[in-house]
Amino acid sequence: MSDLNKLEASLSELIGSENVLRDEDMKEHTSFKIGGKADLFLDVDQIEHIKPCIDLIKASGAAYYVVGNGSNLLVSDDGFRGVIVKVGQKCAGYSFEEDGDKVKVKVSAGMSLIGLSRLAADKAYSGLEFAAGIPGTIGGALAMNAGAYGSEMKEITLKARVLDSQGEIVELYGEELGLRYRGSAIADQAMIVLDAELELEKGDKAQIEAKIKENMDSRKEKQPLEYPNAGSTFKRPEGYIAAKLIQDTGLKGFSIGGAQVSEKHAGFIVNKGGASARDVLQLTDIVAGAVEGMTGVSLELEIKKVGM
């Protein structure tokens, strides 16, 4: 019996064989719709199982990578040799607790950011309007300090419970989270978010709904939502706007294979159909090289590369 078979059997015993998939096609689990097969794919069934799953994987010596909704990932065409651990909808949960004008939100890592923002709006709780169109989970949103329209997770996060790289469950408060533009101590130190506590405020439901509609209308107008993509391809260079730099190179609409610099928003690379990870990487290299050659500004990828 191979080591992978033994690991599969152990994980199946822990979380059920229906949640442990062999040779799973990763293009089915990323918003880019790109990626080869993972040796094993775990759809973790509850938060309490994350630590024992990771303990089993580490003990086996297998490589692993934790994902949420796969909304900012580029997975290798060759897939992932090891275990992809999904902390998604099966690990979603939330509760609201009012305290005067403040509202504390306890939320599990697999909860959809879009779903939580919708629930908050329905209760007239303000603070998550910016997140209404961000297609990630709470865990992923904290790891990258997700933000939009001038707001970010840092502004509403009180604390998070995480599994650290040593396999210990710890709580991080405020500045300990290291939340910054598209980064955090969570990502830096390969921690896994288990759950978090956010703070919202009571507000006016009509105003909250209007703000969400304004943000969503802007997103639909400006972003290439009609094609698979992984969100903003590059981080915003200090003092510049990545999309403007790319557009100025004349590469808007340029394509390699099925990957294209969006004709709608140059900050996005989209999958026009059948794009490979190789297509995307070649395209990002050309774009970054053109921008640096023209302006001297280095672009850093915001999308995360997996298996490469």
- pLDDT, one tens digit per residue, over 125-158 is 999 999 998 999 999 999 999 999 889 999 999 9
Candidates 71, 232, 262, 276; catalytic one: 232
Residues 108 and 171 in one domain: yes
Q: How far apart are CA 103 and CA 96, in angstroms?
A: 7
For residue 139 the two structure tokens come to 């865990």
Residues 200 and 100 in one domain: yes
Q: Which of 68, 90, 112 is the last residue of a domain?
A: 90
User: For residue 1, what pLDDT is reported?
Assistant: 43
Sequence-ordered list of residues with C-beta below 8 angstroms from that of 198, at least 6 positions apart, any chain:
104, 105, 107, 127, 128, 156, 157, 158
Residues 86 and 58 in one domain: yes
Is residue 55 one of the residues assigned to a domain?
A: yes
Domain holding 294, by residue range, is 242-306
CATH code: domain of residue 31: 3.30.43.10
Candidates 182, 184, 262, 276; catalytic one: 182
- pLDDT, one tens digit per residue, over 255-288 is 999 999 999 999 999 999 999 999 999 999 999 9
User: For residue 2, what pLDDT is reported?
Assistant: 72
Catalytic residue status for 182: yes
Closest CA to 161 of 147, 144, 148, 176: 176
Catalytic residue status for 10: no
Strands 94-99 and 102-108, bridge-based pairing: antiparallel
Strands 255-256 and 147-148, bridge-based pairing: unpaired
